[in-house]
Amino acid sequence: MKKASIWIASILVALSPTAAMASSYVSANGSTRLLLDEKNWYGEYQTQINGKVWAGEITPGRILGHTGNRAMYSSFKDNPGVVLESPDEVNSFCSGGFTAIQTVENGRYVLKARWSASEGKNCPGVGQPITLRLVEALPIADKKGDYFFENSKEWYGLPNGQNEFHTWDLWQVVDASGPLSCRVKPNGKIMKTYRRGDRITAGYDGRGHASAILGADNKETHPSALNPSSIKGAPWMRTSDKCFVRANRQYIQPLSGSKI
């Protein structure tokens, strides 16, 4: 389990900020997560079968239809060595066909995904297709309407590596009280303003993976160096304009990552 998580985290860290525009889909019980590049329909997934963690890649395939109403026909392959509960399973993997039907429900993208294993080593699913309903995993604010690290993560939401400090990329201003102030630092001088309906992108530090959300009492230039548990106060999000807005659903709300 631990090595499987490290393997997934290493893939996520390696991807560039532009690749972060992919969509993250999750099953109802959270046991399966799929990161999908909406432009090329390349994917990375992590799932649990019979208590074991499996992870792998989906290769770009044939695409029919248009955004919100399209189908993908491709293939998948697990990555050997991810299932590590016993020495006999070090090289376990499955491979075969992968299909996905994308629709839209209540403004959120939904996938009907099907893994059809046809071969592999120690593969428990050959001849037993698995079909799952996966919903785009948009951030959900807490009871106070705030977005913190824990409820605004992109990718698979893993709690390790720089992924711990990467928030959702795409947001829209919803503040109805007037222009939304973007400040040089939390509670600082106003640098610019956004209008209701404006789309904003979460910002990064020079390394491309710093936190975009920090507490109002945080004075650090590079919050990615901090432990999330040490960050206190109302959350603020750093935008690509290098200023901060309050990270609360009263002011901003996440947008679907499916832009193509």
- When mean pLDDT is compared across 13-22, 92-101, 191-200, the lowest value belongs to 13-22
Task: Give 155 or 117, the one with higher predicted confidence.
Answer: 117
pTM, whole model, 2 decimals?
0.65
Mean pLDDT over each residue of the chain, to the nearest integer? 75
Categorize the per-residue pLDDT at 48 as very low, low, confident or very high, splitting at 50, 70 and 90.
Answer: confident
d(CA 165, CA 149): 7
* Percent of the chain whose predicted confidence (pLDDT) is above 90: 27
How far lies 130's CA from each of 125, 193, 216, in Å?
8, 48, 45
d(CA 179, CA 254): 18
CB-based contacts of 29, cutoff 8 Å, min separation 6: none
Closest CA to 71 of 51, 94, 92, 101: 101
pLDDT the model gives residue 178: 84
Q: Which 3 state secondary structure label does DSSP give 174? A: coil
Most confident of 78-82, 141-145, 233-237: 141-145
pLDDT the model gives residue 149: 64
Closest CA to 71 of 103, 93, 39, 47: 103
Neighbour order of strands in the sheet with 170-173: 199-201, 170-173, 252-254
